[in-house]
């Protein structure tokens, strides 16, 4: 909810943005509340930034660009390492903020902060490893001529991050940008700015020059277009929905800006007759219901060979039925709380409509399928398993961003792969088998950015990650992520005789 704030209120109640290395508030004085999806309580107040504020951030980044680009890789890394130490020292506070604003249990929030720190550490260590090349050239235009490939930072970058994993998906943009020499402005999701603001504040406290790392908060519809289309912005990194990705490409493409898009997914998981069923059941459970199923990279369609279908389904139902829903702030003495609420009411309403559509077409709910009793506050929904799901139902044709898992029976690997590929998305996928011929076939033929073999869908910082089809463009994670913040320039040195 947007409100008007006076100067006194701003100083005591509002968590400021960071523009040009300094705390910043909206040029209009507007603020909005951040609420806990578990109980609706206000957990913070932040500025509702304007186009003027976004322009100020871009101007500060542009002013910082030359100096940061000329900073030595070792010095960039040293500042990032100092920031990482501050994150470690303030980990409990960051975890608390993340859990409160996003709705995930504390143990999941801890995992996300750990992933953030691991990723930033990976990129800090990579800072001095960026290489160019020397290229021997034909002697026709001059004996001893040679070429040199330089790699230089693209320029000011903008990172637009979602609400489901606000910190890890910020880190996959901040780490590569900073070590490449690009200032970056982060625009977090409107509903999850608090932990992001604290992380960016701490990284700046480590000594980053003003304007190198900034954060503006508020409405994506109000801030996204001015940030993306600003002439000084040369690089845009988005994690979001496929529809948002299309719009970002349209805007950035007008001025040929460097773009990466990590978008939606409907990941298939294939369980073969020879699979370790215990491991596969655990993989399906975590892969679908972690973060209340609110993941682009999650098991959203499960294909099980008919030889093991009944055994697998029975084991999965038994395992998932032990989940306990509850307030994510539940103390450690109640470790059974495995799943918090959905992040927003519209998310719960959408999965209810998707599930109702499947049931109306003949699907059977074998576990869950409704709002839990006794949790009237918050946007809770039971972990749900569904069978006999028609291929034309919304549970199959749409991305399901919540704790609902359709399970399908298949006869052959060819059938499983055909069904897996019958989707507009292609982010992640997995196959569970000890048969290397089957594993290799799945890797070659499944249309996805990554295929895991006997492992849950997890994005490693060391390995490039991204999707195909409607799941996006380009790659984050891995050394390859840095490439999108660098441009190659060739230089030719004419040969000298004697």
SS3 of residue 214 by DSSP: strand
Q: List the catalytic residue out of 101, 108, 201, 262.
A: 262
Q: List the catalytic residue out of 182, 215, 296, 382.
A: 296
From CA 147, how far away is CA 490, in angstroms rounded? 7
User: Active-site residue 262, yes or no?
Assistant: yes
DSSP string, 431-484: EE-S-HHHHHHHHHHS-SS--EESS-----TTS-B--EETTEES-BSTTHHHHT
Q: Which residues pair with 258 in a beta bridge?
A: 235
User: Active-site residue 296, yes or no?
Assistant: yes
Residue 180, both tokens: 């490449």
Which residue, 75, 69, 71, is CA-closest to 155?
Answer: 69
Longest dimension (CA), the chain: 88
Which secondary-structure segment (H or E) carries 4?
strand 2-4
Q: Is 436 exposed, middle or buried (0-12, 13-18, 19+ CB in 10 A)?
A: exposed
Tokens 């069978």 belong to residue = 387
Residue 349, both tokens: 């309403």
CA-based torsion, 16, 21, 22, 24: positive or negative: negative
- Kindly report the length of the chain: 498
Tokens 């249309």 belong to residue = 447
DSSP label at residue 342: B
Per-position b or e across 9-31, b if 16+ CB within 10 A of its CB: ebeeebbbbbbbbeebbbeebbb
From CA 196, how far away is CA 203, in angstroms rounded? 11
DSSP label at residue 371: P
Cβ pair 202, 83 in contact under 8 A: yes
Residues known to be catalytic: 262, 296
């Amino acid at each position: 909810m947007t409100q008007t704030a006076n100067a006194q209120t701003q100083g005591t109640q509002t968590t400021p943005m960071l523009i040009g290395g300094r705390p910043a508030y909206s040029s209009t004085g507007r603020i909005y509340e951040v609420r806990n999806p578990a109980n609706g309580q206000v957990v913070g107040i932040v500025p509702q930034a304007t186009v003027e504020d976004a322009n100020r951030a871009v101007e500060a980044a542009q002013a910082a660009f030359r100096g940061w680009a000329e900073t030595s890789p070792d010095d960039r890394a040293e500042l990032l390492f100092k920031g990482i130490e501050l994150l470690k020292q303030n980990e409990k506070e960051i975890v608390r903020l993340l859990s409160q604003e996003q709705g995930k249990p504390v143990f999941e929030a801890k995992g996300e902060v750990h992933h953030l720190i691991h990723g930033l550490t990976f990129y800090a260590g990579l800072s001095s490893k960026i290489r160019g090349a020397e290229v021997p050239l034909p002697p026709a235009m001059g004996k001893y001529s040679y070429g040199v490939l330089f790699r230089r930072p693209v320029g000011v970058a903008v990172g637009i991050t979602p609400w489901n994993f606000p910190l890890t998906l910020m880190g996959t943009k901040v780490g590569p940008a900073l070590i490449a020499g690009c200032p970056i402005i982060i625009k977090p999701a409107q509903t999850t700015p608090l932990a992001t603001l604290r992380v960016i504040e701490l990284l700046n406290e480590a000594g980053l020059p003003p304007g190198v790392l900034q954060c503006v908060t508020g409405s994506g519809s109000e801030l996204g277009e001015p940030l993306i289309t600003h002439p000084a912005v040369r690089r845009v990194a988005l994690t979001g929905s496929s529809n948002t990705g299309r719009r970002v490409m349209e805007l950035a493409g007008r001025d040929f800006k460097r773009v990466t898009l990590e978008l939606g997914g409907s990941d298939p998981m294939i369980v073969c007759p020879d699979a370790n069923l215990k491991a596969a059941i655990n993989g399906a459970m975590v892969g679908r219901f972690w973060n209340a199923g609110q993941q682009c990279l999650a098991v959203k369609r499960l294909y099980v060979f008919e030889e093991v279908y009944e055994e697998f389904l029975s084991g999965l139902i038994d395992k998932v039925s032990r989940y306990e829903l509850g307030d994510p702030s539940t103390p450690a003495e109640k470790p059974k709380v495995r799943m918090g609420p959905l992040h927003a009411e519209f998310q719960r309403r959408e999965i209810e409509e998707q599930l109702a559509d499947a049931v109306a077409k003949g699907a059977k709910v074998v576990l869950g399928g409704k709002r839990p009793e006794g949790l009237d506050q918050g946007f809770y929904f039971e972990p749900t398993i569904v069978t006999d799901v028609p291929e034309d139902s919304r549970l199959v044709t749409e991305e399901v961003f919540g704790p609902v898992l359709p399970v399908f029976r298949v006869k052959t690997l060819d059938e499983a792969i055909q069904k897996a590929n019958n989707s507009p998305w292609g982010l992640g996928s997995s196959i569970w088998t000890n048969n290397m011929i089957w594993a290799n076939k799945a890797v070659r033929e499944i249309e996805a950015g990554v295929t895991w073999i006997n492992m849950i869908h997890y994005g490693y910082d060391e390995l490039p990650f991204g999707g195909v089809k409607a799941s996006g463009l380009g790659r984050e994670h891995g050394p390859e992520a840095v490439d999108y913040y660098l441009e190659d320039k060739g230089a030719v040195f004419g040969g000298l005789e004697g």
